[in-house]
Structure 1
Amino acid sequence: MTTAFMFPGQGSQAVGMGKSLAEAFGPARAVFEEVDAALGQKLSGLMWDGPDAELTLTENAQPALMAVSMAVIRVLEAEHGITVANTASFVAGHSLGEYSALAAAGTFSLGDAARLLKIRGRAMQSATPVGTGAMAALLGLDFATAAAAAAEAAQGDVCQAANDNSDGQVVVSGSKAAVERCAEIAKARGAKRAVMLPVSAPFHCALMQPAADAMAEALATVKMTAPVVPVVANVGAAPLSEPAAIRQSLVAQVTGTVRWRECVAFMVAHGVTRFVEIGAGKVLTGLSKKNASEATAFAVGAAEDIAAAAAQIRG
């Protein structure tokens, strides 16, 4: 089977994530210690003991999710000889997960990935005043219809498709009033439901331009090397291997649409038959079953998952 490794985005965090890995495996402990040192923050303690409200803060959730993904990667390598280079044809990550994918593929050092995500989280949180933006999931509409509903709802405000997760699951983002208008327009156009999301900022829309500027500045000074396998980038839904192009794509990603459905379709079209979600939660595994029903998909995120996942990957 041809394998792709995928890395989860924000929303997959939960208090306790990564703890079993740290207790069972030295390489996982080393990842969490390195991230704590890079940030000058006991992030691992927050991940394992909470409080949940603090872990959910964007500036904490983003590096924390990357740390769990990297802990899984290091354990698979140390315990079973499974690496990105010898196992995966592609890597891809949902929003912040793209940084996890790039760290796993060697583009960023672990410490740099943690610092970049701390900057990204803070910049995204502070890009708009609290309460002025919103996001909504439109269920039961295809992407073109959802994007048209967003355009109609804008009326001089910002409202755009933020995440194309799967057929029938598109997230819109923008000014609060415009997103609320979009929810009503979407229902009129046939959406089964329009659900306002409990987010702290309107991610992946033009309101995030200050955060995109901050990431352009941060990425300009970070050492980047070519990934050991191509990363299928969110904004282009196509593989990238050149650091300059990856840098440009990561900046564009802050305000652009996460084209996840198309990313998966690209990988399937190029022979991927198995998707392995690396890190916390199983969101992308569920989306893979919608986007690539013929492919195998499973998640590995805790100590008890490691041996079974390694056996499946080898198989």
Structure 2
Amino acid sequence: MAIAFTFPGQGSQAVGMGKALADSFPEAAAVFAEVDEALGEKLSDIIWNGPEETLTLTANAQPALMAVSIAVMRVLEARGLDLKKQVSFVAGHSLGEYSALCAAGTFSLADTARLLRIRGNAMQAAVPAGLGAMAAIIGLEHADVEAVCAEAKTLGACQIANDNGGGQIVISGEKDAVEKAAALATEKGAKRAILLPVSAPFHSTLMAPAADAMRAALAAVSMNAPVVPVIANVRAAPVSDAGEIAGLLVEQVTGQVRWRETVEWFAANNVTTLYEIGAGKVLTGLARRIDKTVTGIAVNTPADIDSALAALIG
């Protein structure tokens, strides 16, 4: 009956997120202040006041979501949570993997904020606007989506970016190829194939320049072994070695976020409860659809924190 903490990825952001935490808890306010200082700008003002289109920019959304997750963590820890004693594993969806690693002590908060700013900028700059695309394929098996991507590759790069589970798989690559794959998926019986309003083709081979940028950035920061193992996105298995984690984070930029397999790994290894730490409840919803034996619980408000502490430490 083990517990894991999961950390949300891009798409969970919303203007105003974390404001109630910062207003209620000095530990949370200190997180936002430290992130502002690390980045040399008032990201907290954008998080709490918008505008939404500025918060949604990849270079802002990534450190912003991490800040909210770590704000929740710092409040939990100030009130008695011991991650190493009460939690068996951490995992995060895409950028959420950095939040998970920060929570587990691999990176300092300031370094995590700077790494995610570098990551966001590098991912945005990797592909000229309009060249890439992403699409959500609903209701097709993984193997079928792989097959349509392979067929569409005659028009350019195309691959699975996120296997989110619950019948949702996101593909990414060059625009013509992704559009072709989406059409083929519909022919194969997909319930829906929807082009996503994203600014770049994340988790595709087109992100290779961003992977190079992250290799250099990760080589320049101090890394510790996480206090609990992280379930790496590209491996869907636990990792604790800091050097290995750095390599997997580089691989993650161009590789597949294996979230369905991550939740399945939890279920197969007696993890019964996933606390989603941070903004929104996307991962909580996915957990329910992937494996009914796993319970997802979103923790992002002061009331959520009280409930989580009561369950975790009594």
Which one-letter code corresponds to 1:52 in the other structure? E
Alignment of 1:145-160 (within 5 A): 145-160=144-159
Q: In the TM superposition, what are the counterparts of 1:82-97 in structure 2 within 5 Å?
A: 82-97=81-96
Partner of 2:212: 213
Q: Which residue of 1 aligns with 2:76?
A: 76
What TM-score results when the alignment is normalised by the length of structure 1?
0.98
Aligned to 1:139: 138
The answer to whether the 8 Å contact 1:105/1:227 transfers is yes
Structure 1 residue identity aligned to 2:250: V
Asked whether the equivalents of residues 73 and 83 of structure 1 are also in contact (C-alpha less than 8 Å), the reply is no
Q: Which runs of 4+ in 1 moved over 2 A?
A: 312-315
| Cα distance in 1 between the residues matched to 2:37 and 2:193 | 42
1:164-197 CA-partner distances (Å, limit 9, x unpaired): 0004110000001111001110011110000111
Give the partner amino acid of 1:219.
Answer: L
| Residues 128-157 of structure 1, C-alpha deviations (whole Å, 9 max, x = no match) | 001111000000011111111111111140
1:106-136 residue CA offsets vs partner (Å, 9 max, x unmatched): 0000000000000000000000001111000
Gaps of 5+ in 2: none
Task: Kindly provide the amino acid, as one letter, of the partner of residue 171 in structure 1.
Answer: V
Return the letter of the residue paired with 1:173.
Answer: S
Alignment correspondent of 1:188: 187
Partners of 2:59 and 2:121 within 8 A in 1: yes
Aligned pairs for 1:1-315 (under 5 A) are: 1-79=1-79, 81-314=80-313
Instruction: State the shift of 1:271 in Å.
Output: 1.0
8 A contact 1:142–1:167 mirrored in 2: no
Contact 1:141 1:167 in 2 (8 A): no
Please give the alpha-carbon distance, in whole angstroms, between the structure 2 residues aligned to 1:32 and 1:303: 16
> Aligned equivalents of 1:125 and 1:298: distance in 2?
32
> Offset of 1:51 from its aligned partner?
0.5
What secondary structure is seen at the aligned counterpart in 1 of 2:88? strand
Structure 1 contact 143–167 (Cα < 8 Å) conserved? no
- The answer to whether the 8 A contact 1:140-1:193 is kept is yes
* Partner Cα distance (1:3, 1:164) in 2: 22
Q: CA deviation at 1:303?
A: 2.1
Q: Tell me how many residue pairs correspond in the alignment.
A: 314
Could you say what secondary structure the match of 1:273 adopts?
strand
C-alpha deviation, 1:83, in angstroms? 2.8
The alpha-carbon deviation at position 312 of structure 1 amounts to 2.8
* Distance of 1:39 and 1:8 partners within structure 2: 21
For the Cα contact (< 8 Å) 2:267–2:293, is it kept in 1? no
User: What's the TM-score, normalizing by structure 2?
Assistant: 0.98
Q: Which runs of 5+ in 1 are unaligned?
A: none
Query: RMSD of the alignment, in Å?
Result: 0.9
1:15-39 CA distance string (max 9 Å, x none):
0001000000000001000000000
Q: Distance in 2 between matches of 1:178 and 1:258?
A: 20
Rounded Cα–Cα distance in structure 2 between residues aligned with 1:67 and 1:305: 17
Contact between 2:155 and 2:176, CA under 8 Å: does it hold in 1? no
Q: Secondary structure in 2 aligned to 1:250? A: helix
Q: SS at 1:161's partner residue?
A: strand
The residue type paired with residue 248 of structure 1 is G
CA distance in 2, matches of 1:308, 1:15: 24
Q: Is the 8 A contact 1:159 1:174 kept in 2?
A: yes
For residues 173 and 163 of structure 2, the distance between their equivalents in structure 1, rounded to whole angstroms, comes to: 15
CA contact (8 A) 2:9 2:96 kept: yes
Q: Do 1:163 and 1:170's aligned partners in 2 also have CA atoms closer than 8 Å?
A: yes
Query: d(CA) in 1 for partners of 2:221 and 2:47?
Result: 26
CA contact (8 A) 1:17 1:48 kept: yes
Q: Measure the CA separation in 2 of the matches of 1:208 and 1:302.
A: 35
